[in-house]
Each structure stands twice: as structure tokens, then as C-alpha cells.
Chain A
Amino acid sequence: MTEIMLLGRRAVREVVRMPEATIPTLFIPLFFLVVNIGQVSRTFPSSTPFLRGEGYVAFQLPVSLMFAVATATSGLALVTDIELGYFDKLLVAPVRRSSLILGRLMADLVRGAAASTLVLLVGIALGASIRSGVLGAIVIVLLSALFGVAYAGFGILIALRTRNVQATQSSFLLFFPLLFLTPNFVPFDRLSSIMETLARINPISYVIVGLRGLIIDGWNAGQLAVCVGVILGLGVILTGLSLRTIAVYDR
């Protein structure tokens, strides 16, 4: 446990010291939030049924939260360690290999919580109100951060398997199908039938629906359970694959 904390602290320090890596990942969600609202708020006034009386900002907020936490930062940090040879130094130290992954994920949790808090506050400043209250807001931040931890597995897996910076960087391409083939702009039933089908089979849709429920509906146990289930499932699968991959790295 100590070694995870030590490696996690180092990873967090890295995030803090390289704002140039974090700022662009925050620019995208905030840009989309402001621009989308500006462009469609007359099309979707708060009288629109699916907005439940809230402004479009509340509807869009969960998508921005997910944009903010879904990054390849950990994968890139890992592949950089591999390229610099620091990864070998860690491998040759008497630490469990899993700690090298879990330390990184700890930093993802911290960064995810900070980023989603910021985006949530911007959303509130732009007029969104959180129907589930303060506790709901805390749950939103926590779930967003956990989603970030789960999503980090993509980058980590590609980093470990390819050991190549460019390949790891290109993992952001996954972001588009995963986060846009969802009810991100309008609910499921407003999507064209093919888009609806794709959105319904995309597990990420249910994370958005769950977080959105906390914002515009209040507490909905069913939606929330599915949302938590998807995040945990994704996390268990991707983290499990990452741990397996590092266990056989050069073995």
C-alpha cells in the first residue's frame, strides 16, 4: 500500500508540474459546454420536455464532465517512463508490478475529482442547478472521477502493449465513438433509429444518463445503479487487463 501511495504521489506531482498536459484536457469540455449551450439554447428552451424545466446547460453538463475525465494522460505518462528508461528502474525495484498501475490510477482519481469539480462549478455558474443537492454533487464528482480511472485503462493498455508514444496518443480516437455515440445532445428517443441503436448498445450512454439524472431529475435509484455498474464494470475489466499486461511485461 505504501508503494502505491508513493508512486501515486509522484504521479500527482507530475500532473501538477505539467499544466500544459492538463489544460488542453479541460479546454475541450468547457469549450463544448459554452459553445453548445450558446448555439442550441433557443432551440431547446427550458420549456423543452426532456429538460424538466432546467436550461440546456444542465442537460449537457454530464457530457462535459466525461470529456474532462476521459484522458490518455496516464497512458502517456507511462509510455514516457518506458521511453526514458525510468520504467525499468521501477521494475527492477522490489515493488509489486501492480503498484505501478495502481499508483497511476490514484493520480487519475485525484485529477478526475479536481477536473470534474471545476467543470461542475462552471456548469452551476452557467445556470445549472443540481436537483439531487450537495450530496448529489459530491456523488457526481466521485462517479466522474471513477469513470476517469476506468477510462485511463485504455491508455495504459495501449502504452504497455505498444510502448510507443504515438500509438498511445492516438488512443484519443476511442473517445469519439465512445462519447459521441450516446444521447449526448438529445435523449435516446430523439435520436435517429440507427443512432439510437448504437447509443443503446454503448455502455457509456448509461453513465451519461445516470449523471444527467442526478442533475435534472434528482435521485433515481435504477438509473444510478446502472451508471455505477457500468463504471465499475469498465474499471474492473480495463484495470484487470492492465494488471495482467504489466505482469507479463518482458516475462
Chain B
Amino acid sequence: MIREVSVSTDEISGPGPALADQGAIVARSLRRTFKGGIEAVRDIDLTVAEGEVFGFLGPNGAGKTTTVRMLCTLLPPTSGAASVAGLDVIRDGGEVRRRIGVALQEIGLDPNQTGRELLELQCGLYGITGRDGRTRTTELLDLVGLTDAAERRTKTYSGGMKRRLDLASALVHSPSVLFLDEPTTGLDPASRLAIWAEVRRINGAGNTVFLTTQYMEEADQLCDRLAIIDGGRIVAQGTPEQLKAQMGHDVVTVAVEGGDTEATEAALHGLAGLERIVPEPDALALYVENGAGAIAEIVRRLDATDITPGPISVARPTLDDVFLQATGRRLEGRDQAEPTAEEVTA
């Protein structure tokens, strides 16, 4: 910790338990309407506990960035209230800014400064000057693996390097709450993994992280809890496990190699715990309560009708299934940049 942050003694006083006491990030009926009546964010309620990684998952235009900008004091809410790091974002904006680190979706870097100069300036803006600033800069450059590129102007950096430098610049003052708006959008899988590792490290040190993403995998891997946002509203909220468990089913995929899909489907009707069957190319997706338990029965039934089944696999529901249930649309596949799970975990 480079610098002790002074805590004002006259914390929020108001009727009932103060918003600020309820969590590291609290929003109540937060709303933002832009000129022309565009309702970007509609009455969002959320509570992020201290030390949590909280994810905000949703497609482009869902209201993720607008929410982040309101919580970071960059944009005043049209109505509602929010507190961050124990302070009201409207009344105590200045002190909130002192306590938070922010890496916005548009990477904010000055192309004509070197990585080192940019971080030293950033340190200075947070009151870390002189030798302290230089030491902290060297530390951070090392942390994000940019020591070798430190004397180069940032316009020569790759996308991944820019993200890492931007992340480092959000960390100069060791903020207790870190906002990351789509920290990995457009990054290659290796850079994405580097950012994930860094987020885990930051969180491991006890900091609260609020991140937005349009990637299921990212939300699933990184977040303790998440909210799914669509059309400016939170449509589901919980731990990834809770959200998936709420779906109440597994997905059993039965390959029908050149076989008769209709006959196979007919044979499987009335299966115990079956919710629905969705035909896919050369396969059937069966949504059942207990996937593993259903396999024996599926094989028995197919045997009895002389159908030779292809490979059968059981999968837990994904966050995409959760998104589908909550919004009626799939999130996956909306963005071509989304890497597959194999690419990411390779």
C-alpha cells in the first residue's frame, strides 16, 4: 500500500441503514436516461460485498458501460442512489475517485507518452510523487510484464499491452474497489489469460472487483457472483453455480449418426425427468433433470427399438442457457471475437 487513504469521519448519515454500509458497491433503483429518452439503465439494484469479484454480463448496448460510468462518478444518475467504497457517488464524488481504480472499455492511453511516463503521471495525479512515484511505476511495469517496453511510446504497443498498461494505471494507488469495463474485449486468448490472472491476483489481495463482460466463459471463470443485464435491466443475479442450478436441468446430447432423428425422438418421449427435446444437426439435445441418471434409460430405450446410438454426452447448463431463459435470446455467437473454451483454457 503506497498511500493511506484518509477516511472522512462524517460518513453518510441518512434514514435507515446507510447505503454505504451495505457493501463495497451498492446501487438502488439506479437509472440513466439519455437525451432523446433513451433508457440506458432502468432501475438497477445491486449489492457487491467487499472482496468479491462481481460480473456484469450482457450484450453490447445492454447498459453495462453506462452503469460503470455512474458508479465511477463519470456520469450522474438520472435517479436512484449508489455508493462505492463506503461513499455516496453523487455527494462524495471526489473521495470516491480517490478510492477506486478504473479501466474503461475504451483504453485511455496517451499515444505520445511512454509506458513509464504515463504511469508516473498517473501516480502523480493520485499524489504519489517523486521517488515514491518512480518506485511504484517500476513495480507496476514489472507486475504487468511491460518492463522491457517501458521506454516506448504507447502508440507502438499491441492491444494486449495497452490493456495491461491501462490496468496498471488503474492500480497506482492500490484502490480498494476496481472497475474493469470489458477488460478483455478484442484480446487474443493469451492476453485474455494474462488479464484473468491479474484480476485473480488483485482480488486475492482482498480488493473488490466489478467487471463487465460479454463473454460467458469470462463471467463463469472469474466471478464470485454476477448479474445478467439486458435492455438496461438486471434479469438474473447470483453465483454462476446458482444461476445454472436454477435452470434445473442437464443437457444430454445424443448423436444420431445418419440415423432416423424422428424415430429416435419418438423412442425417447416420456423419459423420466425430461423437460424438452431440441433437435440439432445429427443430434438431439435432451433437457433432463438428472443427466447422468438418464443415460442408462436412454441407452435401454434405444436398444429396444434397434436404434444404434452414437456418442452420448452430458453437459451442465451454461450461462448461455441462463441468458436464453432470462432474455429469450442467446448471447453466445453474437460476437465473433468470442473464443471457444478450448482456446481459452488451452
- Interchain CB contact under 8 A, B113 and A88: no
**Contact digits for B79-116, partner A, Cβ 8 Å, 1 yes 0 no:** 00000000000000011011010101011111111000
Evaluate whether A6 and B110 lie within 8 angstroms (CB atoms) in the complex, with A92-B74, A94-B94 already known.
no
Question: Which residue on chain B has the smallest CB distance to residue A9?
Answer: B121
Instruction: Count how many pairs of residues, one from A and one from B, have CB atoms less than 8 Å apart in the complex.
Output: 71
- Closest Cβ of chain B to A1, distance in Å, is 12
Looking at B39-47, B48-56, B122-130, the stretch in contact with chain A turns out to be B122-130
Looking at A78-86, A154-162, A167-175, the stretch in contact with chain B turns out to be A78-86
Contact of B124 among A3, A84, A251 (CB under 8 A): A3
Query: A91 interface residue, CB < 8 Å from B?
Result: yes
- Which residues between 115 and 144 of chain B lie within 8 Å of chain A, taking CB atoms? 117, 121-122, 124-127, 129
Query: B253 interface residue, CB < 8 Å from A?
Result: no
Contacts of A87 in B (CB 8 A): 108
Evaluate whether A88 and B121 lie within 8 angstroms (CB atoms) in the complex, with A93-B97, A250-B75 already known.
no
**Contact digits for A79-115, partner B, Cβ 8 Å, 1 yes 0 no:** 0010011111111111100000000000000000000
Contact of A14 among B75, B112, B125 (CB under 8 A): B112
- Interchain CB contact under 8 A, A18 and B125: no
Evaluate whether A13 and B74 lie within 8 angstroms (CB atoms) in the complex, with A2-B124, A85-B106, A93-B122 already known.
no
**Contact digits for B258-297, partner A, Cβ 8 Å, 1 yes 0 no:** 0000000000000000000000000000000000000000
Q: How far is the CA of A95 from the CA of B125 in the complex (A)?
A: 6
Total interface residues in chain B, CB < 8 Å: 30
Query: A42 interface residue, CB < 8 Å from B?
Result: no
- Closest Cβ of chain A to B266, distance in Å, is 57
Contact of B169 among A6, A84, A89, A94 (CB under 8 A): A89
Contact of B108 among A10, A13, A84, A95 (CB under 8 A): A84
- Closest Cβ of chain B to A14, distance in Å, is 5
Question: Which residue on chain B has the smallest CB distance to residue A251?
Answer: B76
Evaluate whether A84 and B111 lie within 8 angstroms (CB atoms) in the complex, with A6-B124, A92-B102 already known.
yes
Evaluate whether A89 and B112 lie within 8 angstroms (CB atoms) in the complex, with A95-B125, A251-B76 already known.
no
- Interchain CB contact under 8 A, A6 and B125: yes
- Which residues between 223 and 251 of chain A lie within 8 Å of chain B, taking CB atoms? 250-251
- Interchain CB contact under 8 A, B109 and A84: yes
Contacts of A88 in B (CB 8 A): 74, 104, 106, 108
Contact of B113 among A10, A93, A95 (CB under 8 A): A10
Evaluate whether A13 and B125 lie within 8 angstroms (CB atoms) in the complex, with A84-B106, A92-B73, A250-B74 already known.
no
**Contact digits for A3-21, partner B, Cβ 8 Å, 1 yes 0 no:** 1001100100110011000
Contacts of A81 in B (CB 8 A): 110
- Interchain CB contact under 8 A, A86 and B125: no
Evaluate whether A17 and B106 lie within 8 angstroms (CB atoms) in the complex, with A88-B74, A92-B73 already known.
no
- Interchain CB contact under 8 A, B126 and A89: no
Query: B255 interface residue, CB < 8 Å from A?
Result: no
Total interface residues in chain A, CB < 8 Å: 24
- Interchain CB contact under 8 A, A92 and B72: yes
Q: How far is the CA of A87 from the CA of B75 in the complex (A)?
A: 14
Contacts of A86 in B (CB 8 A): 108-110
- Closest Cβ of chain A to B55, distance in Å, is 21
Contacts of B117 in A (CB 8 A): 10, 13
Q: How far is the CA of A17 from the CA of B124 in the complex (A)?
A: 21
Q: How far is the CA of A89 from the CA of B95 in the complex (A)?
A: 16
Evaluate whether A18 and B74 lie within 8 angstroms (CB atoms) in the complex, with A10-B121, A92-B102 already known.
no
- Interchain CB contact under 8 A, B97 and A94: yes
- Closest Cβ of chain A to B136, distance in Å, is 15
Contacts of B98 in A (CB 8 A): 94
Contact of A89 among B104, B127, B153 (CB under 8 A): B104
Binding site for B on A (CB under 8 A): 2-3, 6-7, 10, 13-14, 17-18, 81, 84-95, 250-251
A-B contact pairs, 23 of them (CB 8 A): A2-B129, A6-B121, A10-B110, A13-B113, A14-B113, A17-B153, A18-B112, A84-B108, A84-B109, A85-B108, A89-B108, A89-B109, A89-B169, A90-B125, A91-B74, A92-B74, A92-B102, A93-B122, A94-B94, A94-B97, A94-B98, A250-B75, A250-B76
Q: Across chains A and B, which 3 residue pairs bring their CB atoms closest together, nearest first?
A: A85-B106, A89-B108, A85-B108
Binding site for A on B (CB under 8 A): 72-76, 94-95, 97-98, 100, 102, 104, 106-113, 117, 121-122, 124-127, 129, 153, 169
Q: A89-B102, A93-B126 are known; give 14 further A-B pairs, CB within 8 A.
A: A3-B125, A6-B121, A6-B125, A10-B110, A84-B110, A86-B108, A87-B108, A88-B74, A89-B108, A92-B102, A92-B104, A94-B127, A250-B74, A250-B76
